[in-house]
Chain A
């Protein structure tokens, strides 16, 4: 495997290499449209078929998927 051009970079400039990638960040990108909770995620397959992912199941399980939720700043609910 070729050495990535940035492999000489200091860890501080490449922090993401030292963290697991969060599923929701990948979903934002591979779905093209981002993940929006109001309703379901819609996936178009071959520009024709629409598949809706109900996010309820995803939300229920996402606690175990997200790396290190930051509880320390939980102080006040901001929603």
Chain B
């Protein structure tokens, strides 16, 4: 990826989108990779580090345009997937510190400054993720069929019945109460199972963290999410991790598990600071 060329100086109609940072010694096959908005991916080298970038038109990615476009789900998805595709590609050939979404510089010079300014932090991050990959495990509550059926049995809670409790209204209230109690129990059981899964998986991980639970409107899942975990795994340990996942997934309990990955180590390089620039970004 060396010598692919540098961006013309001080052009103001395009910005430089950061995909990720590699060690200088890495030799990825970037030439065929397309970046954001279809432009070829380039590299900017400084301070022993390589920033992988692509040029973006400011008419679309400048501050104001970005605000507008990020609200457009079609645009957002295309941009997110393009960025991820590059990062994913890079991560398959070596360690990469993935950049967060929408880190845009004014020029290659700014990128180089960013690399130099954050050299120690970036070098440490690269070392930390080398030979490791991220895996995701999501857990969803599974309604317990017996518990769900309970409301149909009117005699389920005879202790609640008082002499004048025989009317259909009272029966409805009893059913409703039992239903709510069952639902609450189910949620507690699922949450407890999620804790157990996370702890068991973390044993096999170099680092583990939990992302916020995904709303069902976004995940499209039929039931509530109870775990959105990310695990940084030594490459040699992936088999053990996968085996543990399958052991947990095949257990009979009130959650359903999903494994995703391998991911570039997005969730494990964001150490309070972005591996990113300072101020001058907005055009």
Contact = CB atoms under 8 A, between A and B. Distances in A.
Interface of A: 1-2, 4-6, 9, 12-16, 19, 21-37, 43-49, 51, 53-55, 57-63, 65-66, 69-76, 78-79
B276 interface: yes
A36 B277 CA distance: 25
Q: Is the interface of A mostly helix, strand, loop or mixed?
A: loop
Interface string B212-232: 101111111111100010100
Interface in B157-186: 183, 186
B238 to A, nearest CB: 7
Query: Is the interface on chain B under 10, 10 to 19, 20 to 34, or 35 or more residues?
Result: 35 or more
Nearest to A33: B212
B218 A70 contact: no
Contact of A51 (B67, B221, B239, B280): B67
A51 B66 contact: yes
B282 A15 contact: no
Interface in B88-128: 92-93, 98, 100-104
B76 A5 contact: no
Contacts of B92: 1-2, 4
Given A21-B84, A43-B102, A45-B66, A63 B74 contact: no
B40 interface: no
Given A58-B76, A73-B142, A28 B214 contact: yes
A31 B282 CA distance: 19
Interface string B246-268: 10000000001001111100110
B104 A73 contact: no
A16 B281 contact: no
A79 B226 CA distance: 11
B77 interface: yes
Contacts of A78: 141, 143, 183, 186-187, 223-224
Given A32-B100, A45-B281, A1 B228 contact: no
A27 B83 CA distance: 11
Nearest to B211: A34
8 contacts: A12-B246, A21-B84, A24-B218, A25-B260, A29-B266, A36-B212, A46-B278, A73-B142
B279 interface: yes
B238 A6 contact: yes
A72 B238 CA distance: 31
B93 A1 contact: yes
Interface in B48-77: 63, 66-67, 70-74, 76-77
A46 B103 contact: yes
B274 A47 contact: yes
